[in-house]
């Protein structure tokens, strides 16, 4: 019998098996501003596209460690490919776990679980409560992965008689709508420095009816399906693990490329190779060690929380703060590694079409995301200090 661990390891292997294809297609994805059909088709053929889903939605429910290693591998291959991994895979994971049975039947079962989903979960829309659902109007930016998605996720505030709903004092109700592609208006705003191949278009809706069955709460931790601890931890930890892993993967690609380049790299007026220079050797040792330490911190924070939930314990504010702080720290370390690699590579890092050049642009685009901002680190620290009891957004 195949163990859960073996199945999860196969997900990492599936991602690794795409290296040659992604290398060949990366430039075309950038030109198209969304992943090529060849990459998307292979994600489905390999099982990667649905792998993180609950079993009922065609997935294998990998552990956090396996998800993290998969994302690192994808981002190591190409930043845009890795970003799709942290956009499409968590989106379908959440919809598969948290949609009601009727909504799941419409979105997943009716399509034999062949469902790609992307979008923006932040509540930038308003849903007027009507009989059977909501009339949704809103505008969302950076809808990652929607260039090839059949369904688009859109976060919104329910509005009941013109008033917001409140879950508790200071916490509004926030929902996620799952909308068929043909009901979305796409706005051509994805002209950016990096992550060009992610199809992260702006989009909007105007008074679109969304049945209640195709919505779920943004911060829900009670799955309708799925047995892995991740399904009982909610979308925020999965998203945080994705951001940390993505940054680590892109940084590792740059460190690996610089290490390979060093033996043959000679700077102008310097007769010694880059690899023979003590300053480069010290820098490489420092940044590789920093990268490894950040990876271990991420694994520790997320697997510790995962083990607590698996044992039936509460996902406490401290555990959530630990995960989010680890993601911010890993992102900061990864950015530092990328900057160092870019500088020591010299002119080799500025030539268009090289992985070093593309990875550098991707790093400084992806790390602008609010999900790994200093505000998140401050919220985590305030929980550790006892200044606040909780922050619902963590």
Q: Quick check: 2 pLDDT over 70?
A: no
Q: What is the CATH number of the domain that holds 184?
A: 2.40.110.10
Residue 240 sits in the same domain as residue 372 = yes
Last residue of a domain, one of 217, 248, 273: 217
Looking at residue 6, what is its pLDDT?
72
Total domains in the chain come to: 3
Residue 255 sits in the same domain as residue 377 = yes
Residue 233 sits in the same domain as residue 321 = yes
177 belongs to a structural domain: yes
Looking at residue 5, what is its pLDDT?
66
The chain-wide mean pLDDT, for the chain, equals: 95
Residue 377 sits in the same domain as residue 279 = yes
Residue 212 sits in the same domain as residue 120 = yes
What range defines the domain where residue 167 resides? 116-217
pLDDT band for 273, please (50, 70, 90 cuts).
confident
Looking at residue 272, what is its pLDDT?
73
pLDDT in tens, 363-379: 999 999 999 999 999 99
Looking at residue 130, what is its pLDDT?
97
Last residue of a domain, one of 160, 185, 217: 217
Q: Quick one: tokens of 5?
A: 């661990």
13 belongs to a structural domain: yes
Residue 76 sits in the same domain as residue 120 = no
d(CA 347, CA 225): 51
Q: Region 14-29: what's the mean pLDDT?
A: 97
Instruction: Give the whole-number percent of the chain exceeding pLDDT 90.
Output: 89
Burial of 180 (0-12, 13-18, 19+ CB in 10 A): middle
Q: Region 295-321: what's the mean pLDDT?
A: 98
pLDDT in tens, 140-161: 999 999 999 999 999 999 999 9
What is the reported pTM? 0.96
Q: Quick one: tokens of 105?
A: 């039947």
Q: Quick check: 386 pLDDT over 70?
A: yes
Residue 352 sits in the same domain as residue 260 = yes
299 belongs to a structural domain: yes
Looking at residue 274, what is its pLDDT?
86
Sort residue 287 into left (φ over 0), alpha (ψ -120 to 50) or beta: alpha
Q: Quick check: 247 pLDDT over 80?
A: yes
Q: Quick check: 165 pLDDT over 90?
A: yes
- How many Cα atoms within 13 Å fall on the side-chain side of residue 160? 6
- For residues 346 and 383, the model is more confident at 383
107 belongs to a structural domain: no
Residue 336 sits in the same domain as residue 252 = yes
Residue 144 sits in the same domain as residue 265 = no
Residue 319 sits in the same domain as residue 202 = no
52 belongs to a structural domain: yes
How many Cβ atoms are within 10 Å of 276's Cβ, its own excluded? 13
Residue 376 sits in the same domain as residue 241 = yes
Q: Quick check: 3 pLDDT over 70?
A: no
pLDDT in tens, 64-120: 999 999 999 999 999 999 999 999 999 999 999 999 999 999 999 999 999 999 999
104 belongs to a structural domain: no
Residue 235 sits in the same domain as residue 367 = yes
Last residue of a domain, one of 176, 193, 217: 217
Q: Region 8-22: what's the mean pLDDT?
A: 94
Contacts of 251 (CB under 8 A, 6+ apart): 291, 333, 334, 335, 337, 338, 341, 363
80 belongs to a structural domain: yes
Q: Quick check: 271 pLDDT over 70?
A: no
pLDDT in tens, 179-232: 999 999 998 778 999 999 999 999 999 999 999 999 999 999 999 999 999 999
Q: Please tell me the least confidently modeled range out of 84-93, 101-110, 238-247, 268-277.
A: 268-277
106 belongs to a structural domain: no
């Amino acid at each position: 019998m195949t163990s859960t661990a073996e199945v999860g390891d196969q997900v990492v292997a599936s991602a690794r098996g795409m290296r040659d294809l992604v290398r060949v297609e990366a430039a075309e994805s950038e030109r198209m501003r969304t992943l090529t059909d060849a990459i998307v088709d292979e994600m489905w053929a390999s099982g990667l596209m649905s792998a993180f889903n609950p079993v009922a939605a065609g997935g294998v429910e990998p552990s956090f460690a396996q998800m993290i290693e998969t994302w690192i591998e994808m981002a190591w291959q190409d930043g845009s490919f890795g970003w799709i991994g942290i956009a499409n895979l968590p989106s379908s994971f959440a919809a598969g776990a948290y949609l009601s049975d009727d909504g799941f039947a419409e979105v997943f079962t009716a399509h034999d679980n062949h469902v790609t989903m992307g979008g923006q979960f932040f509540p930038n829309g308003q849903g007027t409560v009507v009989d059977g659902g909501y009339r949704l109007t809103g505008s969302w930016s950076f809808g990652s992965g929607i260039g090839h998605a059949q369904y688009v996720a859109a976060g919104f505030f329910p509005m009941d008689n013109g008033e917001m709903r409140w879950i508790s004092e200071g916490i509004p109700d926030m929902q996620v709508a799952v909308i068929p592609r043909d009901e979305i208006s796409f706005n051509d705003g994805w002209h950016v420095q990096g992550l060009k191949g992610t199809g992260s278009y702006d989009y909007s809706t105007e008074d679109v009816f969304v049945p209640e069955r195709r919505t779920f709460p943004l911060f829900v931790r009670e799955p309708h399906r799925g047995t892995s601890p991740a399904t009982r931890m909610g979308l925020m930890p999965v998203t945080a693990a994705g951001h940390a892993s993505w940054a680590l993967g892109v940084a590792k690609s740059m460190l690996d490329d610089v290490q390979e380049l060093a033996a043959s790299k000679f700077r102008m007026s310097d007769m010694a190779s880059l690899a023979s220079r003590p300053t480069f050797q010290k820098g490489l040792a420092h940044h590789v060690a920093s990268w490894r330490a950040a990876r271990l911190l991420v694994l520790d924070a997320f697997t510790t929380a995962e083990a607590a939930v698996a044992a039936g314990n509460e996902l406490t504010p401290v555990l959530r703060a630990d995960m989010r702080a680890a993601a911010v720290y890993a992102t900061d370390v990864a950015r530092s590694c990328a900057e160092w690699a870019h500088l020591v590579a010299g002119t080799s890092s500025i030539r268009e079409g090289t992985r070093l050049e593309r990875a550098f642009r991707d790093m400084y685009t992806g790390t602008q995301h609010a999900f790994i901002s200093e505000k998140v680190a401050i919220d985590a620290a305030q929980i550790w200090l006892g200044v606040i009891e909780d922050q619902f957004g963590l």
